[in-house]
């Protein structure tokens, strides 16, 4: 367990930091798995009257690949450090001396650190997050500087998967 700002919020190993809503992430894994199974191993078979053919086999293989890709990107988003800030505890000298920069910085009383222009505090995660976009319970925690790229690719992956499934079911 890692203490951030005097609150125990993140379970941490060397390569994995999960947030306070990790059960919701497991629900998403289950949902993707059920949807994949329904499309690749039920709907496709019903459509082909349970007769094995190259098209049905191809759909199954693509389903499994998409399942791996989508869940891999989901876990990458859920397990990466979103950008937890533990400093600075005093204003950087260049900020303190420049009125324009000074205006953009705030002090977070909960964390005891100074927030740069793109850093905001999350009450769920109880931490200041660099380039915080939003707190996403489905990802278990905040989406910020550290996991934004994985989050975007996760969304691309499931949307492409979804479109593929719709086209495959209705257009063949
Ligand atoms: Zn804070
Ligand atoms: Zn958060």
pLDDT for 4 equals 56
Measured CA to CA, the distance from residue 127 to residue 97 in angstroms comes to 27
The pLDDT tens digits of the residues spanning 103-144 come to 999 999 999 999 999 999 999 998 999 999 999 999 999 999
The mean per-residue pLDDT over the stretch 5-22 comes to 69
Q: Report strand pairing: 113-115 vs 120-122.
A: unpaired
CA–centroid distance, 60 to ligand 2, in Å, is 36
- Grade residue 12 by pLDDT with cuts at 50, 70 and 90: low
Residue with tokens 């496709």: 44
Please give the residue that has the higher pLDDT: either 161 or 6.
161
Q: HSE-up of 65 (CA within 13 Å, CB side)?
A: 9
CA–centroid distance, 5 to ligand 1, in Å, is 7
pLDDT for 78 equals 93
136 is known as an active-site residue? yes
Query: pLDDT at residue 150 above 90?
Result: yes
């Amino acid at each position: 367990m890692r203490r951030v700002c005097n609150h125990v919020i993140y379970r941490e190993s060397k390569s994995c930091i999960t947030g306070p809503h990790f059960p919701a992430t497991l629900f998403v894994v289950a949902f993707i798995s059920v949807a994949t199974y329904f499309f690749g191993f039920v709907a496709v078979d019903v459509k082909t009257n349970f007769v094995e053919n190259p098209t049905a086999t191809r759909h199954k293989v693509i389903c499994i690949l998409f399942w791996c890709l989508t869940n891999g990107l989901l876990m990458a988003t859920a397990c990466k450090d979103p950008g937890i800030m533990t400093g600075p505890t005093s204003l950087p000298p260049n900020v303190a001396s420049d009125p324009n920069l000074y205006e953009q910085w705030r002090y977070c009383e909960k964390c005891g650190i100074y927030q740069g222009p793109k850093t905001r505090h999350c009450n769920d995660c109880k931490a200041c997050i660099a380039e915080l976009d939003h707190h996403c319970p489905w990802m278990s925690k905040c989406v910020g500087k550290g996991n934004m790229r994985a989050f975007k690719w996760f969304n691309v992956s499931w949307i492409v998967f979804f479109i593929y499934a719709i086209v495959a079911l209705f257009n063949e």
